Amino acid sequence: MSLITPVHVTSKLPDVGTTIFSVIGQLSAQHRAINLSQGAPNFPCDPQLVASVAEAMQQGHNQYAPMTGLPALKQALADKVQQLYGRRYDVDSEVLISGSASQGLYMAIAALVHQGDEVIFFEPSFDSYAPIVRLHGGVPVGLKLEQPDFAINWDQVQAAITPRTRMIIINTPHNPSGQILSQADLDQLARLTRSTNIVVLSDEVYEHIVFDGHTHCGMAGHEELAQRSVIVSSFGKTFHVTGWRVGYCLAPAELMSELVKVHQFMMFSADTPMQVGFAQYLQNPQHYLGLSAFYQQKRDRLREMLQNSPFKLLPSAGAFFLLASYAHFSDESDSDMVKRLIVDHGVATIPLSAFYTDGTDNKLIRLSFAKDDATLQAGAEALCKVTG
């Protein structure tokens, strides 16, 4: 009989367990709930994109791509960014193709945040920011966006900046609130970081999904901020292929050289046939320039169908989410409300408290309208039947 030696594990994230997203996913599957929860499309991507990737595989593009990405794809990205935002990134030293936007966020924090560095971010937030900072010895400093418009209080940001502040994480368009930053916001950020060593990590995965005639105000379009920013974006979110896990990073050469050091040991290079397909697909700007109108139609459709529901819908200026308030008819916690919606009404949503490190509960739930019309219709009908 072999002896089993027990191994003691000291967790780096002792307070992190199964996320509410997994719990909701399991409960939703159990009750076959209509999925308005997941921030991923349930409709097919363009067959032309699939055909391009299949052709790339058939032509033998199945081995490692160059470490920082396929040159044709990097060039297409650099051209797109210059055309849209007016900044030219050097293809060789300032553009990197990553294995998803999530990997881009991880390697940027891993490369640039040191033990004891403070990282300011804004809540509600994408749930990976704070854990990644902690994993690399940093100190996450969460500042709450002001309701009801989920705006950044720049006086609060100024008060939070200390000599140990190394990074500020920005997300626009914002998940989960659907709000966007303005040029005035960017000017405030530039003012507060001027003459500092602070890096801006800008999560812009919904850059092409902005509504009501507004334009995306990202770091590449701001001359001063571009010089201290790492921009992370996503082909998956843009082209309805979240399962392909390909994203990209843009940054000045001095910052990018540090990201590359981490990237080469995380995965070396992103999937080759997908990169070939995206390089071809980007040649037609309408493949991304038409997204705002496409998703705005879905937003408006869901809002219209929920007019007679008991929920009060908050404005959505970008991304593919709506927040809905129920505080006026129930004092349930948002997690209990979400579970009740699944069990009693067969529709899955996300509690906003899941996006706060301290579980702040404002009686709000998040709805995703990145769904086909049938799903939106069924989800809206279910929500209209909810009572207090």
Which domain does 90 fall in, by range? 47-287
pLDDT in tens, 74-117: 999 999 999 999 999 999 999 999 999 999 999 999 999 999 99
Question: Has residue 355 got a pLDDT over 80?
Answer: yes
pLDDT in tens, 219-244: 999 999 999 999 999 999 999 999 99
Do 151 and 187 have their domain in common?
A: yes
Instruction: Kindly report the CATH number assigned to the domain that includes residue 85.
Output: 3.40.640.10
Report how far apart, in Å, the C-alpha atoms of 60 and of each of 50, 55, 130 are.
Answer: 16, 9, 40
- Sequence-distant (6+) residues with CB within 8 A of 254 are none
pLDDT confidence band for 2 (50 / 70 / 90): low
Report how far apart, in Å, the C-alpha atoms of 118 and of each of 20, 107, 112, 210, 230 are.
Answer: 26, 17, 11, 31, 17
Do 260 and 331 have their domain in common?
A: no
pLDDT in tens, 278-328: 999 999 999 999 999 999 999 999 999 999 999 999 999 999 999 999 999
Strands 34-35 and 118-123, how do they pair?
Answer: unpaired
Do 26 and 101 have their domain in common?
A: no
Do 79 and 178 have their domain in common?
A: yes
Half-sphere exposure at residue 74, Cβ-oriented, CA atoms within 13 angstroms: 23
Identify the CA nearest to 157 among candidates 134, 141, 172: 141
Instruction: Classify 82 in phi/psi space as left (phi over 0), alpha (psi -120 to 50) or beta.
Output: alpha
Helix (H, G, I), strand (E, B) or coil at 231: strand
State pTM to two decimals: 0.95
Mean pLDDT of 352-378: 97
Direct distance between the N- and C-terminal alpha carbons of the chain, in angstroms, rounded to an integer? 61
Do 256 and 282 have their domain in common?
A: yes
Burial bucket for residue 208 (CB in 10 Å: 0-12, 13-18, 19+): buried
Q: Which residue has the tokens 């097919």?
A: 44
Question: Has residue 3 got a pLDDT over 70?
Answer: no
Mean pLDDT of 156-168: 98
